[in-house]
Amino acid sequence: MNAPSRNARAGLLTKRTLVIASHAVEQAAVTGDGTEPLIAIAMFQRLPYFERESEVYRRIAALAEVTVVGMVAGQRPDLPAGITPVLLHQDEELAAEWSVVVLSPRFGASVVATDLGEMDLNGTSLESARLFHGRWGFRREEAYAEAVRLRDALGDRLPPDVRRRLNAVLTNVVEAPATEVERRAEAMLLHLTSGMARARDRVERLTQRHADERADARDPWTGLHTSQSLESWLGTDRADTVELGLVLVRIPDLDEVESVHGSSAAVHTENNIADVLRRDLRPVDRAVRLSRKEFLLVLPAVPAQQVLAVADSVRTALASLDETYPHITVRAEVKIGSTTRRPLPLDEVFGTRPSTGDEEYVLSGNFDDDEWHGFLVS
């Protein structure tokens, strides 16, 4: 078998691959015997991601000369002893970075990736479907370069004593790397990582299927997800790294369909509406019935213009339902929005309901804003 090239461990990476590679680097750090100085630098994006790994970083800090973690946070987090936190601004490049760098005079390993804000369409959950661009490896020269890069990027946010100790370890990296050993070790690890990612994917799909069967509530009339299942799917305390495009659909006259046209016509109309909402969804999207008259499309990592196109397509399709059985005109108010917050702040994003009438599409704010909204009325 040929050894993996640099490209074999670089490029588009799924979250599950990054998790496996990161855990391998972290375990390499805690395996040391403390006889030579070690530095560990990690970018975690948000505090909840670090909290899941806090115990292993406590163990790393007990062995390392320097342990630094960076994340976006409003205030200094309570971290295990020996760990230096660096607070990042949400709009800086490091805030989108998932990095773990471990380096000693004779060993180095690194995982460096940037969140693309995109999703794997076949992902089994919102978190696992996140996509990154980056690379991982167990080569000391690469770990050295990444440690220098992160040191310089963090600049004076590193306390002087931490920077001094970090530089001392970098200065001691003078021996030539064992490139042949590293290359062969990487070939083995690439094989193991790929196999573990596939196995984890299978387990994750089974787990998700069982979770859906237990807790993924559906509206009995339309088969759409309920608001309770939406909260379960998104989580209420997940890190806010995935932007969600939102399309809110309100059918003001839906209550009147049964009283005017009968229960059978009402059932068919509701299912026609549900079919319109479901027809172009990706596997990572959700169509939700919020209430008797309100429906919501949740579109992770979709650009604003594409959300607008989806909203317009839905509006047009709903306006054409009178051409199909039971030939009832469906008037819809369709609003769009965007947020990264959990739980979904729907009232803040959408505000009051749009007025009736024949207004053209109205956009409030700008597509570059953190949250934008507007509406169409058919």
Q: Is the dihedral of CA 54, 212, 275, 352 positive or negative?
A: negative
Question: Residue 227 is encoded by which pair of tokens?
Answer: 């608001």
Residues 6+ apart with CB under 8 A from 285: 297, 298, 299, 300
Are 98 and 18 spatial neighbours (Cβ–Cβ below 8 Å)? Answer: yes
Question: How far is 45 from 2, CA to CA, in rounded Å?
Answer: 35
Helices (H), 216-297: 227-234, 254-261, 263-278
The β-bridge partners of 114 are 97, 133
| Band (354; pLDDT cuts 50, 70, 90) | very low
Q: What is the CA radius of gyration of the chain?
A: 25
Could you read off the pLDDT of 160-184 as tens digits, one per residue?
Answer: 999 999 999 999 988 765 665 555 5
Q: Select from 246, 244, 374, 223 the least CA-distant residue to 310.
A: 246
Percentage of residues in the chain having pLDDT higher than 90: 45
Question: How far is 178 from 169, CA to CA, in rounded Å?
Answer: 18
Per mean pLDDT, which range of 61-65, 87-91, 101-105, 370-374 is the poorest? 370-374
3-state secondary structure of 255: helix
Alpha carbon 64 to its chain centroid, in Å, reads 30
Predicted local distance difference test score (pLDDT) of residue 350: 79
Could you read off the pLDDT of 255-296 as tens digits, one per residue?
Answer: 888 888 998 999 999 999 999 999 989 888 999 999 999 999
In what side-by-side order are the strands of the sheet with 373-377?
Answer: 225-226, 286-289, 294-300, 244-250, 333-339, 373-377, 362-364
Is pLDDT at 330 greater than 70 in this prediction?
yes
Are 136 and 142 spatial neighbours (Cβ–Cβ below 8 Å)? Answer: no
Which residue did the predictor score with more confidence, 57 or 2? 57
Predicted local distance difference test score (pLDDT) of residue 178: 60
Question: How far is 155 from 151, CA to CA, in rounded Å?
Answer: 6
Question: How far is 91 from 58, CA to CA, in rounded Å?
Answer: 28
Alpha carbon 149 to its chain centroid, in Å, reads 25
pTM: 0.74
| Band (146; pLDDT cuts 50, 70, 90) | very high
Predicted local distance difference test score (pLDDT) of residue 355: 46
Phi, psi (deg, nearest 5) at residue 107: -145, 145
Question: Domain 216-377: which CATH class?
Answer: alpha beta
Range(s) within the chain of domains with CATH label 3.30.70.270? 216-377
Per mean pLDDT, which range of 36-50, 193-207, 259-273, 281-295 is the poorest? 193-207
Pairing of strands 83-88, 225-226: unpaired
